[in-house]
Amino acid sequence: MTGQSQIRQAKGTISKQIWGLMSVLIVLTGAGVISAQPKAGDAALGTQKYDSYETPDYCGTSCHVGFYQQWRQAMMSQSYTHHWDEIEYFKLAVPHAEKDPVVAGVKAGCNGCHAPLAFLAGDVPPARPEAGSRANEGVQCEVCHSITGFEGDTPFNFNWISVPGEDKQGPRAQGESPAHKMVKNDFLATAEFCGTCHNEKSPYGVWVKSTHLEWKEGPYAAQGVTCQQCHMTFAPGESAEMGTKYPDVRQHLFHGAHDPGKVRGTIELRIHPDIREAEPGEAVKFTVALFNQKTGHKFPSGSVEDRIVWLHVEATDVAGKKYHLKVDPKGFAGEEYTISADVLAYQDMGIALNEPDFKGVQRDGIPVGNRIFRMAYFDPQGRMTIQQWNTKSQGVDYRLGPRETKLETFTFNLPDDVAPGELKVTATLNYQLLVKPVADFLGVPEEESRVMFVNDHSTTITVLP
């Protein structure tokens, strides 16, 4: 055999060996023994280890000090330890999931966004916050900066793809770090990145969180204004203590629905009467214009099943006597859920509480007759629920869309004993993260049901003698 023949034979033997190994790898991959593609969504449960992710303290002790301190004050760091989330998960979601196979997945799935490290490590349900486990880190630095993309066409239900390791995903390619590699990933600057957790479908296939989808359907998406431009504003500075100074460093404040400063002024109000002078016994119609001039999605958004935004109109005569004006009904289908009433709701909490005859709690907890901007969620029995995982249908969506104006009227029949002189009428828009009767019933700290002031405006008429 010539030298050339021996070389060709050796190459052929090596090629067969390589193809044989590749065939084994393909078979093993198909059998699930080796997986080159990281899992997303429910399939990612238990696919990683806690130790694959550095702690926020590691990131923030000497390098990203500013970002770390911002994150510590943001809801991202409290996504698991926050009082209402803890109570909702352990008092309602977990017991409900253990009794109803349709919603069984929420026992693990809630953690996909609220305690992603615990979810990835398969540590579900995680230890309660007082145990001090790594679940308490919530949405921490390495979770976001390990995400390379998402699976499917629509971001929702934690379908992000996490690849932990030395490569840290970020907005810049240039620069060096002594602690890790920097990988430029434009996905982190997209609204879809946020949508992987800020869109959610219930086990019944209902969109119970749709903040990203609301943005996508609104005017800001068409103009290229993303979530980060409002919730991660930029300023000149350094990304790391020893790093390069940039003109557009994204702040890690994540200020949103829990921040009174962000909520304040979200909606503009103006109120005016149809006449300027009236006698006792006459009817005066006051019109309130509400303009959503600040949010790129609907207001309220996110956990809409919990949140309540309401318009309260009150008149005060010169003698100091106050009168509550009730909204004029418009007559649309489902409007009864958008006007405050003394009725009970949320009876499905009885499933988790082992009270099959639970009568519910007061639905609104605010003065009767106020206009509420909300979308009601209904359980499989058609009862209003605050449990998004148990939502099978939804009522009319009467929230304020981006750049939308709604007009509400309040007809006031002047009482016979109203004092002559100037009558001042004030419209006030209020906001709560959680309806107070639910918060009080479940023992949620008062801070979660405190009233946040959004805006107000006043007008006057003259009451004739």
- Which residues 6+ apart lie within 8 Å of 360 measured at CB? 344, 345, 346, 347, 349, 383
State yes or no: pLDDT of 250 exceeds 50: yes
Q: What pLDDT digit, counting tens, does each position of 57-113 carry?
A: 999 998 999 999 999 999 999 999 999 999 999 999 999 999 999 999 999 999 999
Helix, strand or coil, per DSSP, at residue 89: helix
Q: State the burial class of residue 415 (Cβ atoms within 10 Å of its Cβ: 0-12, 13-18, 19+).
A: middle
Question: Which segment of 30-39, 211-220, 287-296, 448-457 scores lowest on mean pLDDT?
Answer: 30-39
Report, as an integer, the average pLDDT of 248-268. Answer: 96
**Can you give the chain as a three-state secondary structure string?**
CCHHHHHHHHHHHHHHHHHHHHHHHHHHHHHCCCCCCCCEHHHHCCCCCHHHCCCHHHHHCCCCHHHHHHHHHCHHHHCCCCHHHHHHHHHHHHHHHCCCHHHCCHHHHCHHHHCHHHHHHCCCCCCCHHHCCHHHHCCCHHHHCCEEEECCCCCCCCCEEECCCCEEEECCCCCCCCCCEEEECHHHHCHHHHHHHHEEECCCCCEEEEHHHHHHHCHHHHCCCCHHHHHCCEEEEECCCCCCEEEEEECCCCCCCCCHHHHCCCEEEEEEECCCEECCCCEEEEEEEEEECCCCCCECCCCCCCCEEEEEEEEECCCCCEEEECCCCCCCCCHHHHECCCCEECCCHHHHCCCCCCCCEECCCCCCCCEEECEEEECCCCCECCCHHHCCEEEEECCECCCCEEEEEEEEECCCCCCCEEEEEEEEEEEECCCHHHHHHHCCCHHHCCCEEEEEEEEEEEECC
Mean pLDDT of 32-42: 70
Cα separation, 140 vs 56, whole angstroms: 6
pLDDT at 18 over 50: no
What are the structural domains, with CATH classification, of the chain?
41-250 (no CATH), 260-463 (2.60.40.3880)
Residue 327 has pLDDT above 90, yes or no: yes
List 23's β-bridge partners, or say none.
none
Give tens-digit pLDDT for 231-243.
999 999 999 998 8
pLDDT of 243 reads: 85
Q: What is the mean pLDDT of residues 259-273?
A: 97
Q: What is the pLDDT of residue 36?
A: 56
Q: What are phi and psi of 113, to 5 degrees?
A: -115, -30
In sequence order, the β-bridge partners of residue 168 are: 182
Residue at 409: amino acid letter: T
Phi, psi angles (nearest 5°) of residue 204: -95, 5
| pLDDT band at residue 244 under the 50/70/90 scheme | confident
Contact indicator for 393, 355 with CB cutoff of 8 Å = no
The answer to whether 394 and 379 are in contact (CB under 8 A) is: no
What does pLDDT average to over the chain?
92
- What one-character-per-residue DSSP string does 104-146 give? TTHHHHTHHHHSHHHHHHT--SPPPGGG--GGGG-S-HHHHTT
> What does the pLDDT look like over 361-404, one tens digit per residue?
999 999 999 999 999 999 999 999 999 999 999 999 999 999 99
Which pLDDT score, from 0 to 100, does residue 172 have? 86
- Among the residue ranges 18-32, 193-207, 376-390, 394-408, the one predicted with the least confidence is 18-32
Look at residue 25 in the predicted model and tell me its pLDDT. 35
pLDDT at 271 exceeding the cut of 70: yes
Instruction: Please give the full DSSP string across 210-222, using - where no structure is assigned.
Output: EHHHHHHHSHHHH
**What is the per-residue pLDDT for 242?**
85
